Amino acid sequence: MLSDEQIKATILFKLHKRGNWGGSHTAFDNLKKGWKDEDLSKHGVKRVEKLAKELIRRGLIIPKPTHYGLQVSLNPKENEVIVAFMKRFFPEV
């Protein structure tokens, strides 16, 4: 099972790999895709959603409400913090 910090780093890494910095967004629901059940414990995808919302509150992810749903991207102003956080779990960044 992954720790909360590992899940947060993975969320940030997913957005980073997709190039979702600043003006490039992806659907919030995409953050919940691709997880293995054994990585998330009994709360599953709800845990990912909760941790993603925490990253939004911390200002690392920028939310963009649209008429077709919430879109998110990485905050370029927090580039150094985001990259340092990801490198703890993904040294290849």
pLDDT string in tens for the chain (93-residue length): 899 999 999 999 999 999 999 999 999 999 999 998 888 887 889 999 999 999 999 999 999 999 999 999 999 999 999 999 999 999 987
| Eight-class DSSP state of 2 | -
Q: What is the pLDDT of residues 47-65, one digit of tens each?
A: 999 999 999 999 999 999 9
Output DSSP code: residue 78: G
Q: What are the chain's domains?
A: 4-87 (1.10.10.10)
Paired tokens of 32: 């919940």
**Is residue 50 within 8 Å of 39, Cβ to Cβ?**
no
Q: How many CA atoms lie within 13 A of 47 on its CB side?
A: 19
